[in-house]
Amino acid sequence: MLSQPLTLGFFSKAIVHIDGDAFFASCEQSLNPTLKGKPVVTGKERGIASSMSYEAKARGVTRGMRLFEIKKICPDAVILPSDYETYSLLSQRLYSIVRRYTPDVEEYGIDECFADLTGLRRIYRMSYESMAEKIKQELDSELGFTFSIGLAPNKVIAKVASKWKKPSGLTIIPGRLIHQYLQNLPVEKIWGIGGQTAAFLNKHGIRLALDFARQNELWVKALLSKPFYEIWQELNGKFIFPIDTSKKIVYRSIQKMKTFTPASSDRDFVFAQLSQNLENACMKARRYKLAAREVLIFLRTQGFDDVGLKIRLSRPNAHPHEIMKAITPLFNHIFKSETFYRATCVTLLQLDEIKVVQLTLFDSPLTVEKWNEIYQNVDELRDKYGKHSVFLGSSLLAHQARQHEGERGMLPERREVTLKGETKRKRLGIPMFMGDIAW
């Protein structure tokens, strides 16, 4: 028979914890639908698994496992390098979707956040449970993979709830039922309790979260520091840890850099490389519905010295032809005709979600709307016919030249031949047949 509830009432506070399921691997599957249902592992650049899809987990792949070990137990694993820039952009989409319902959002990690829904039932004319369900539906559908959500009276219990049914779970723990979720939960599974503290509690016979929650308050205060006393309070249903709504700024840039050989002092060629980088950066920004307030460009010399400048735009922008007008004077200022350059780089900074753009006195609303429609069509053409099927004239020389000349630029013979239905950027995953056919 279950013990008496630790707390009474339903939700004096309504806190949700939102956690992306296998976030990095899920991002890769969302961006490349052909990977869905396959064992995907990220971390190739480090030589160890940093994230695994649930299909890979089911085959025994664990975090930190070395690549050769992964290949032994899961030969068909798709092992990819981590693309943290893309993961960060999708993380911003996660936060923005949750902020449709409440401004009180804590960006706790790249793949998770807390949000306070307290007091919003009357505004949205729905229960807290329905709000949590709606948030989950919108996250799953708009980002293309699943999230697990926990709804509870505080952050510690919300964390317990979000882990309860993974993947794609929605768990609701009202105050009166907290004890049911703690009674068989190891104390080390509680958010904030590490191995050392768990070992200390174990020595005092406390192995389950419910055992800890039932300890005498004076005992907890005497033997444990303040953070663990606060955890003890939240395990008993109190709201102690506030929602930190300060926005994180570490995921607010898109960088595109391109190295080419041999190094060049040709102004038009180097400018074309920079133009192509700008197009690629803007393409990615539009894909995630973002626009930049600032742009940084730099050129890398043959001697690996970097020189660059930054400019602030009159309004958030993701249209390369407009940004190009702004950065051309910067390029002309830093480019020296007697210097050989080996790389160009464009970084879009201070990214904002594209909503209603505040125009300046000199902007024409009709012109801005027209260019929005033009780039929407351009992006659709690129999706259909290839990334660089449409590009700015200023990027022409970059498209005409190989990225690397000489031995470094030599391509396998298969890549020199385009088969029916292929483009230079999109090829079938088959080798070229070089033998003789016997009839």
The DSSP annotation for 64-124 comes to T-BHHHHHHH-TT-EEE---HHHHHHHHHHHHHHHTTT-S-EEEEETTEEEEE-TT-HHHH
Q: What angle do CA 110, 286, 245 make, to 5 degrees?
A: 35
H-assigned helices in 111-205 = 121-124, 128-143, 155-164, 178-182, 195-203
435 CB contacts (<8 Å, ≥6 apart)? Answer: none
Nearest to 118 by CA among 192, 10, 18: 10
Indicate the SS3 state at residue 41.
Answer: strand
- Torsion sign across C-alpha atoms 183, 188, 189, 193: positive
**CB within 8 Å of 104: residues ≥ 6 apart:** 115, 116, 243, 245
Q: Which residue has the tokens 């020595």?
A: 203
Q: What is the dihedral of CA 419, 423, 428, 433, to 10 degrees?
A: 30
CB of 359 within 8 A of CB of 365?
yes
Other Cβ atoms within 10 Å of 142 Cβ, number: 12
Taking the alpha carbons of 419, 420, 425, 430 in that order, is the dihedral positive or negative?
negative
Say whether 112 is catalytic: yes
Helix crossing, 84-98 with 23-31: angle to 10°?
90
**Size of the chain, expressed as the number of residues it contains:** 439
Q: Are 269 and 397 in contact (CB under 8 A)?
A: yes
What tokens appear for 48 in the block?
């160890």
Q: Which of 28, 112, 234, 279 is catalytic?
A: 112
What the block records as the tokens of 316 is 């958030």
Q: Which residues face 345 on adjacent strands?
A: 257, 298
Show which residues are catalytic: 112
